[in-house]
């Protein structure tokens, strides 16, 4: 059968005018490298589940993206992450939400799917489960990036919530945020 993989690294008001050629090239290079690694898993007989977990994990480890290491800041100056995984032919799924310090939420979501009778674990319960299975944790400094911190300061000044790619673009307010 045919194999295919597609990835995204976020959408929004990505500002064309503030994207330097260096940033553009770096992002495209990372996207290319990431999708290739997933495609290689598939062509070598790996499962779709293995492929999607691997590539999302790679992006979680890259501070360019709003997930894992590059996560944006909450209003309290902390990081809270969500992740989910779903397998089509079995309809199995697993997710974690509002977890702190977990290095790779996507692998924790997969563990929820495969090692518990539940679908979604949140907050402290999810973190306790992560410790039980030996999932790696990182200190707050690991998740700190100056770019995200500056985004938070601008959002606080304007009292808005923003998508990770918004600079001074469309605000999210009212019922939607």
Partner 1 sequence: TVGAVAVDQFGHTAAATSTGGMTNKRIGRVGDTPVPGAGNYANKFCAVSGTGVGEHFLRTLACYEVACRMEFGEMSLEEAGRGSICGGRFKEIDGSGGLVAVDTLGNVCLCFNTEGMYRAARSSKGVDVVAIYD
Residues in 82-141 at the binding interface with partner 1, rule: CB under 8 A: 82-89, 91, 93, 95-98, 105-106, 109-110, 119-120, 122-123
**Distance of closest approach, residue 134 Cβ to partner 1, in angstroms:** 19
CB 135 within 8 A of CB 152: no
- Determine which residue in the list 18, 20, 45, 139 makes contact with partner 1, applying CB under 8 A: 45
Contact status: 70 vs partner 1 (CB under 8 A): yes
Residues 151-170 interacting with partner 1 (rule: CB under 8 A): 151-152, 155-156, 160-166, 169-170
- Compare residues 133 and 149 and give the one whose CB is closer to partner 1: 149
Can you list the pairs that 71-77 forms with residues at least 24 positions away whose Cβ atoms lie under 8 Å? Answer: 71/143, 71/148, 72/148, 72/151, 72/152, 72/164, 73/148, 73/149, 73/151, 73/152, 75/156, 77/152
134 token code pair = 């030996």
């Amino acid at each position: 059968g045919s194999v295919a993989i597609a990835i995204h690294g976020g959408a929004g008001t990505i500002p064309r005018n503030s994207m330097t050629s260096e940033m553009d090239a770096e992002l495209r290079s990372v996207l290319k490298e990431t999708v290739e690694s997933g495609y290689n898993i598939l062509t070598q007989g790996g499962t779709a589940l293995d492929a999607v977990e691997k590539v999302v994990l790679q992006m979680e480890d890259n501070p360019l993206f709003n997930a894992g290491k590059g996560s944006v800041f909450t209003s309290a100056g902390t990081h809270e992450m969500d992740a989910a995984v779903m397998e089509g032919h079995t309809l199995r799924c697993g997710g974690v939400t509002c977890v702190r310090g977990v290095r790779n939420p996507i692998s924790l979501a997969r563990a929820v799917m495969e090692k518990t009778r539940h679908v979604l674990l949140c907050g402290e319960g999810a973190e306790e489960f992560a410790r039980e299975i030996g999932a790696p944790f990182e200190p707050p400094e690991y998740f700190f990036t100056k770019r995200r911190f500056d985004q938070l300061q601008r959002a606080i000044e304007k009292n808005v919530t923003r998508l990770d790619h918004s600079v001074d673009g469309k605000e999210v307010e009212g019922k939607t945020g």
